[in-house]
Amino acid sequence: MRYSALRIAYEALTGHKGWTPAWRDPAPKPAYDYIIIGGGGHGLATAHYLSKVYGKARIAVLEKGWIGGGNVGRNTTIIRSNYLLPGNEPFYEFSMKLWEGLEQDLNYNAMVSQRGIMNLFHTDGQRDAYRRRGNAMILQGSDAELLTAEQVRKEAPFLNFDNARFPIKGALMHRRGGTVRHDAVAWGYARSADSHGVDILQNCEVTGFRIEQGRIQGVETSRGYIGAGKVGVAVAGSSSRVMAMAGMRLPIESHVLQAFVSEGLKPLIPGVITFGAGHFYVSQSDKGGLVFGGDIDGYNSYAQRGNLPLVEDVAEGGMALMPMIGRARLLRMWGGIMDMSMDGSPYIDRTPIEGLYFNGGWCYGGFKATPASGYAFAHLLATDRPHETATAYRLDRSLSGRMIDEKGVGAQPNLH
Amino acid sequence: MIIPHPLLGPRDAQEFTYLGDAGLINRPYWLSEDAARAFHDYLYLRDNPAGQHRELWFHEQGDRSWLVVTRDTTSHEILSVELARDVALARRSVA
Amino acid sequence: MNQTHRLSGGQIDRDRVLNFTFDGQAYKGHAGDTLASALLANGVRLMGRSFKYHRPRGVISSGSEEPNALVELRTGARQEPNTRATVAELYDGLTAQSQNRWPSLAFDALGVNDLFSNFLTAGFYYKTFMWPRAFWEKFYEPIIRRAAGLGSLSMEADPDAYDKGFQHCDLLIIGAGPAGLAAALTAGRNGARVVLADEDFTFGGRLNAEVEEIDGKPARLWAADTVAELKALPNVRLMRRTTVLGAFDHGIYAALERNADHLAVPEADMPRQTLWRIYARQSLLCAGATERMIAFQNNDRPGVMMAGAMRAYANRWAVTAGRQVAVFTNTDSGHRTARDLAALGVEVVGVIDSRPSATALGDYPIFAGAQVIDAKGKLGLTGVTLRRSDGRTQTLACQALGVSGGWNPNVSLTCHQRGRLVWNDQIASFVPGGTLPQGMRSAGAAAGHFSTAQALQSGIEMALAALDSLGLKTTPLPCPRAEDGAYEVTPLWYVPEGKGRKWLDFQNDVTVKDVKLAHQEGFRSVEHLKRYTTLGMATDQGKTSNLGGLAVMAEATGQSIAETGTTIFRPPYTPVALGTLAGRAAGKGFKPTRLTPSHHWAVEQGAVFVEAGLWLRAQYFPRKSETHWRQSVDREALAVRKSVGVCDVTTLGKVDVQGADAAAFLNLVYANGFAKLPVGKCRYGLMLREDGIVMDDGTAARLAEDHFVVTTTTANAGPVYRHMEFVRQCLAPEMDVQLISTTEAWAQFAVAGPNARAVLTRIVDPEHDLSNAAFPFMACGEITVCGGLRARLFRISFSGELAYEIAVPSRYGEALIREIMAAGEAFDITPYGTEALGVLRVEKGHATANELNGQTSADHLGMGRMVSDKKEAIGAVLSRREGLNDPAGLRLMGFEALDGSTTLPAGGHLFATSAPQQGVSEGWLTSVAYSPHLGKSIALGFLERGQARLGEVVTIANPLQGQSLTARVVSPHFIDPEGERLRG
């Protein structure tokens, strides 16, 4: 079924009887050529591109719970391609370009909204670092502007310019950055993949891999054994648990990241603002809620909930940056489990087990990567070669000393 | 969270700085034959269990002890706390 | 007419008349009123507009769960959006505005959305607005954003103060209704430390809203007497106006106390609100229950409300929403409402009870086995239509309808640690189950015990259980006598009859049809339902709507509600102001400010200051004649090279290392060797992380065989100390070595320039020989100054000049800077700030934070050979990985502008002049400075194969600022590469 304004009008006038499920609920087949483990954004995107772009068939996505229930369903919806390092920036710029055509590709309005991202700086050193970054972005085909404090004031007059502990000296503006309606990304990919014949199997938990002579044969699941030609794992947050079933240890820790939303407010914040000096970032959703967050809690966790000190820390950052939000109320907070990698960058790679592929380590930045991650993972699954924008995301990069450490904090996941 | 410090009693986790897996105490021998691989695995690879996890916390705003805390990563329940130096010394005596 | 809908009785103070305005209209109410009760008293039923369709809405509850009656309270900088009229205490002069409407509440232009509601069903926006592509940000989205949102912020800084506090207790009791009061009395009399918190401004919970007796006296008087006894107990802390927001790990709770929200403005020095962090060994949830709606056509008309709320307004606030009221119920709750309102003289036109066997509780018409099928009255209810048990319809004229679909325990806090709820068939609702937060129990209606007697009994029992678990000795309390009616409910989630919209989530405008559409389109898991329809995502977080939506979905899927599941309640229990969570950490108080020992002196000198982490450092010292910072900085830098300057370098980290194994320890911590450093000498130290990347650099000075002083960069003082303690305790536990951070203990000044020795000689006590022979470059020692004050002297140089760093105990720091300035007067000694410091170090080619950014290997700095392979050192093994030692890799180099007028940009990217300026560059500039010494702009930077490219002219691409420049690659040591000046 094709979605359009006309279709809505037709259905409205005929009692909405014609709407069909956005995706089927099929029974598992005995075997597939490709099994994607993980019905989150990355897994569903992989299935979409694998079927639509690479023309593959006999594909299943296996999801333990309900699709879109992982980090694609609990994030702060930001998209951006403002990375510094050569291993990252082309990949995220590729992702941005896919975002820019997403709705037409999927026939699903995910509300990709490029309202801009402003990274504030407060010292000359930070300005120099942002100049390096902004130039790298432009040289790699993205966009960036270096704003003076006065220009920042024009963009966001409500920021604390007059009584700030860390005065705002300017910002790196990335106009094509913005936000996307996160759930719709999962649903849009699922619907499209389904329409290209992909079986989306919910409530289908993988309980083991069948590996013979170093080659993957299939997966044991809560709905029975399913044979597979190739298996791609995209279960960020649970990567260590799933890959342990294949006998692998990963350069990944699981950490909790909290995010927050306020009650609905009339529009006040145009784009996304990040306040590095205060570990705080904020945007406003189309519904009017301020969506904001800060650091990860900082300790290993699979509990999907955080603790109070971080909540206070984030609120303090918010009040320091925007003292007019004091009377806005926090409505809801939640925690998601992040694959925190040892250098802060992801992995899209083959594994030592033939036919088993891994996609993970996205830290708290996986959402913006969803299209490119799916595309690159599909490319790898289909061709056995890394996508040209994802060649650096190798599992052995720490062995050779080619880490992609944007923040420069080293092999300590909770600092990334 | 509240961490029961072996010397100081219950302390708010906010007083501590987290490092990570207590396996970081088990630093490889620098002249071992496979030192490059051993140091790599030591520094980069993690069990990352969903369940009991032995991990290092530094009492930065306290007595500056490094502690080995055994904590369940699914419930955050703390099962035991030891001084990291004691753990390290015990390891030496075994080795 | 004034307070036309006021009844007799109630817990309001009729002697205190309070004036207030709503949408500019003046009204009067009484002390004890909420805004909602006062508006109802004045005949106002229309209080808000819904989010999506802008439907006219009235108040439906009398508590914090209210989804409809949200207002902007107060004006000016104190304007607060989305305040529930049901919990806003009336005060004299209160002003409130309705929100999400234009131009007025009664006539809202966007009410037109309601006409198109058939097109705007659940999730419609995912299916359209996709063409043309560019129209989303430019056209569709701005319209949607303007229409969305609820109230508005003033956009002015919040003028009020917020506080934070800590409390510790044996038992935290959440909610002070019958269960909470009985529990508090039990625990209090047994000597436990108790905190009793309730969100209301009056303790008693439902006892204030009901007509019933406890121990033979009116229940609210029993509550008042109990509170009086609790107040007298020193071990009990009563906290009214306090909402427990969240349950966190290990028995830590967040609670919000509203100190001043019942006042027009806080009194002097009074915080508006306080965030309490309560450390409770045990807790007891007595948060009561929330009544639920029965959905039917137009059940959202202003005047339709919960039956329990209608009763509360009558009994507690002496208010009725209409002269003629009806009740629609499937429990006895509805009948109590009819009974109580009739007793107060309100005309009850009928109780419509869906249970065929229902009987009346008083003298009012009853329609057993009947259902309300429609409600009339756009801006206010005028009547309801019912389908009687005999199949005929009947219309009853009324201005208010109380609805009771049963009660749902307030279980939110039990879920904050992801506890799973359990379905209870008897009450047809979820009760606490699974793993509750550590130490938590539940009692009373929150646990599904709906009679007052059961609430009291469970409160007592659970308090005893909590105390027992703590090992406290207890004596049970006799349970007071109270009403013990059986609770009987036959679930009725929605009335099937009628094609119109039946509302489930009032604020977000989710109807029964929307839920069915979600099912039809495959959004069947609870989370999909919520996210697709927005059910339960309103400001009440589903307290008034979730179960109804679940029931409709369960019916559609043919599963039970328990199988359908429930979404997760998350903190906060009710929304909380961000100001409260931030507390005092706002404005300049956001983070502490660290001042150097010479700060006050520098202020006297007219210094300009700059943030360096938490430190405030002198950036430069302008003179009156200087109009541009560069003039000051150039002068300061030149003065150092020409004569002598002084700079406060206290912010550098200092770690005292003592013990027999101190040298061995530093030998392990630093990549270069320290074992053989003689006493009285300093050495540059390169510290690596275990991954082989440079962590920090600094100097270590050996003051004695077993005593070193290590310096770190300002930014890394904390991390380096932590790392050294890690190495000491975890990796080298057998070493005899102790560490302590002394950054704050010593004030330290750099005295630099050709005349540095001459200046210091006037301060240092004469028995210490400062001659070049006795105290050469890299010497260090403990000395005395100014006639006996102990000090440390290091002959180290950041500037490349003859230089010393001299340290005295911090409290003498300010005195010392004055002494140094006096001693240097003859040499025109010049204080210099961080800018000149930066110029001098770039000229000398020293790396700092811009170069040591955590991505830099020793090889990148040209220091690869410093990493000894003859000894064990942190980071040495992994520093040898090929990716960190690429012969074609980056190397720290110097760059100089080709002329005096070009300014090199830090962050500019480097390319060979023949290469296109795109893609991956060959390096970048890390630090730039104007060198007054060389008369041109110079820079440090990393360049691929830099060591082989000396003399090459490279392109510096700075497209961010539209620049493309050229510079020459040179040695990073612009000044005195042979190091003769610093050895002089």
Residue C908: which of A22, A135, A408 has the nearest Cβ?
A135
In angstroms, rounded to a whole number, what is the distance separating the alpha carbons of residues C355 and B50? 50
- The reply to whether residue B24 touches residue C730, judged by beta carbons under 8 angstroms, is yes
**Interchain contact, B30 vs C435, CB within 8 Å:** no
Judge if A262 and A411 occupy the same domain.
no
A317 in the same domain as A386? no
Fold of the domain spanning C492-559:
Arc Repressor Mutant, subunit A (1.10.10)
What is the model's pLDDT at position C271?
A: 98
Contact status of C718 with chain B (Cβ, < 8 Å): yes
The CATH number for B41's domain is 3.30.2270.10
Q: What is the Cα–Cα distance from C37 to C208, expressed in whole angstroms? A: 14
Pair A409, B50: CB distance under 8 Å? no
- With CA atoms as reference, the chain B residue closest to C728 would be B85
| Residues A257 and A170 grouped into a single domain | yes
pLDDT of residue C916: 95
Give the predicted TM-score (pTM) of the model. Answer: 0.97
Which residues in chain A have Cβ-Cβ distances shorter than 8 Å to C79?
327
In Å, how far is C731's CA from the nearest CA of chain B? 6
Closest residue in chain B to residue A307, using alpha carbons only: B1
Instruction: Look at residues C370, C367, C376, C374 and name the one whose alpha carbon lies nearest to residue C348.
Output: C367
Q: Does B24 touch chain C (CB under 8 A)?
A: yes
pLDDT (tens digit per residue) in C597-634: 999 999 999 999 999 999 999 999 999 999 999 999 99
- What pairs with residue A119 in β-bridges? A172, A274
Res. C7: pLDDT tops 60: yes
pLDDT at C155 over 60: yes
Chain C residues close to B85, C-beta within 8 Å: 729-730, 733
Best of C87, C529, C564, C855 to substitute, by most chain A Cβ atoms within 10 angstroms, is: C855
Domain of residue A152: give its range: 117-179+253-341
- From chain B, the residues in CB contact with A298 under 8 A are 18
* pLDDT tens track for C794-816: 999 999 999 999 999 999 999 99
Contact A398 B40 (CB under 8 A): yes
Residues of B in contact with A308 (CB under 8 A): none
pLDDT digits (tens, 9 = 90+) for C117-138: 999 999 999 999 988 888 888 8
On the question of pLDDT at C761 being above 80, the answer is yes
Domain count, chain B: 1
If DSSP states are collapsed to H, E and C, what string results for C40-56? Answer: HHCCCCEEEECCCCCCE
For A164, A290, B25, C587, the CA distances from A161, given in Å and listed in that order, are: 6, 20, 46, 10
SS3 B6: coil
The answer to whether residue A313 sits within a structural domain is yes
CATH of domain C162-289+409-469: 3.50.50.60
Q: Which CATH superfamily is domain C886-984 in?
A: Aminomethyltransferase beta-barrel domains (2.40.30.110)
> What pairing do the DSSP bridges indicate for beta strands A117-121 and A272-275?
parallel
Q: How far apart are CA A93 and CA A144, in angstroms?
A: 12
Chain B, window 8-67: residues with a beta carbon less than 8 angstroms from a chain A beta carbon: 13-14, 18-21, 37, 40-41, 43-50, 53, 55
Measured in angstroms, the CA of B74 and the nearest CA of chain A are apart by 5
Domain boundary among A311, A341, A371: A341
Best A64, A302, A340 residue to mutate vs chain B (most B CBs within 10 Å): A302
DSSP C889: S
Give the closest of B2, B35, B84 to C730, CB-based: B84
Chain C residue with Cα closest to B2:
C250
CA–CA gap between residue C73 and residue C90 (Å, rounded): 11
Nearest-Cα distance to chain C for A405, in Å, is: 7
**Fold (CATH) for C598-651+745-841:** Gyrase A; domain 2 (3.30.1360)
Q: Which residues of chain A have pLDDT under 50?
A: none
In the stretch 250-269 of chain C, residues with CB closer than 8 A to chain B read 250-252
According to the model, what pLDDT value does residue C2 have? 85
> Token pair for residue C213?
């007796």
pLDDT at C623: 97
Measured between CB atoms, which of C691, C730, C872 is closest to B25? C730
Which sign does the torsion angle of CA A202, A206, A209, A215 carry?
positive
Q: What is the mean pLDDT of chain C?
A: 96
pLDDT band at C463 (very low <50, low <70, confident <90, very high): very high
Judged on CB neighbours under 10 Å (0-12, 13-18, 19+), C676 is: exposed
Specify the residue for token string 């690869």: C864
Beta carbons of C730 and B89 less than 8 Å apart: no
Q: Is the dihedral of CA C225, C229, C232, C237 positive or negative?
A: negative
B84 — contact with chain C (CB < 8 Å)? yes
Which of A341, A363, A384 is at the close of a domain? A341
Structural domain total, chain A: 2
Residue A108 within a domain: no
What pLDDT was estimated at residue B95?
A: 58
Has domain C1-156 been given CATH number 3.10.20.440? yes
Considering the domain boundaries, does residue A6 fall inside one?
no
Answer yes or no: do A397 and A284 share one domain. no
Output b/e per residue, C463-481; b: 16+ Cβ within 10 A.
bbebbeeeebebeebebbe
Residue ranges, comma separated, of all CATH 3.50.50.60 domains in chain C are 162-289+409-469, 293-405
Taking only residues 756 to 775 of chain C, the set having a beta carbon closer than 8 angstroms to any beta carbon of chain A reads: none
Question: Does 3.40.50.1980 match the CATH number of domain C293-405?
Answer: no
Tokens of C499: 């094609």
Beta carbons within 8 Å of C99's beta carbon, 6+ residues apart:
C48, C49, C70, C71, C72, C81, C82, C150, C151, C152
User: According to the model, what pLDDT value does residue C742 have?
Assistant: 97
End-to-end CA distance of chain B: 34
pLDDT above 80 (res C1): no
C157/A contact by beta carbon, under 8 A: yes
Whether ipTM > 0.95 holds is: yes
Q: pLDDT tier at C81 (50, 70, 90 boundaries)?
A: very high
Same domain, A327 and A215: no
| In C499-583, beta strands by DSSP E | 503-505, 510-511, 576-577
Question: What's the rounded mean pLDDT across residues B75-84?
Answer: 97
- Is the per-residue pLDDT at C434 higher than 90? no
CA angle C843–C849–C852, rounded 5-degree value: 95
List, as ranges, residues 273-332 from C with C-beta within 8 Å of B.
279
**Separation CA C579–CA C598 (nearest Å):** 35
- The domain C653-741 having CATH identifier 3.40.50.2000: the answer here is no
Is the pLDDT confidence value at C148 over 70? yes
Is residue A188 domain-shared with residue A220, that is, in the same domain?
A: yes
Closest by CA position to C445, among listed C434, C437, C453, C433: C453
Q: Is the pLDDT of residue C486 over 90?
A: no
pLDDT digits (tens, 9 = 90+) for C548-604: 999 999 999 999 999 998 878 999 999 999 999 999 998 999 999 999 999 999 999
Check CB contact under 8 Å for C729 and B88.
yes
Nearest one of C695, C305, C330, C609 to C494, comparing CA atoms: C330
Which structural domain range is residue B11 located in? 2-94
Q: Which chain C residues contact residue A151 at CB under 8 A?
A: none
Show the tokens assigned to B66. 């490094």
φ/ψ (deg, to 5) at A209? -105, 145
AA letter at A255: H
pLDDT for the residue numbered A232 = 98
Contact yes or no for C97/C106 (Cβ under 8 A): no
Q: pLDDT-derived band of residue C146, with 50, 70 and 90 as boundaries?
A: confident
Verify that A203 and A335 share a domain, yes or no: no
Condensed to tens digits (0 to 9), the pLDDT of residues C236-256 reads 999 999 999 999 999 999 999
Question: Which CATH number fits the domain that encloses residue A39?
Answer: 3.50.50.60
Task: Give how far Cα A107 sits from Cα of A2, A5, A189, A198, C523, Å.
Answer: 7, 12, 10, 17, 18
Preceding peptide of C103 cis, ω within 30°: yes
Q: Is C532 helix (H, G, I), strand (E, B) or coil?
A: helix
Q: Measured between CB atoms, does B35 come within 8 Å of chain C?
A: yes
Q: Is residue A16 part of a domain?
A: no
Q: Could you tell me if A95 and A194 lie in one domain?
A: yes
How near does any CA of chain A get to the CA of B69, in Å? 11
Question: Which residues are CB-contacts of C523 (< 8 A; sequence separation ≥ 6)?
Answer: A22, C123, C529, C531, C532, C533
User: What b/e sequence results for B67-95 when a residue is b if at least 16 CB atoms lie within 10 Å of its CB, and e otherwise?
Assistant: bbbebbbbbbebeebebbbebbeeeeeee
Most B CBs within 10 Å: which of C655, C724, C730, C740, as the mutation test of the B interface? C730
CA distance B84 to chain C (A): 6
How big is the CA angle at C269 (ends C266 and C271), to the nearest 5 degrees?
Answer: 55
SS3 A119: strand
pLDDT exceeding 70 applies to what percent of chain C?
100
Give the domain-ending residue among A287, A322, A341: A341
Is A12 domain-assigned? no
Digit-coded pLDDT (tens) for C952-966: 999 999 999 999 999
Q: Which residue of A has its CA nearest to C508?
A: A287
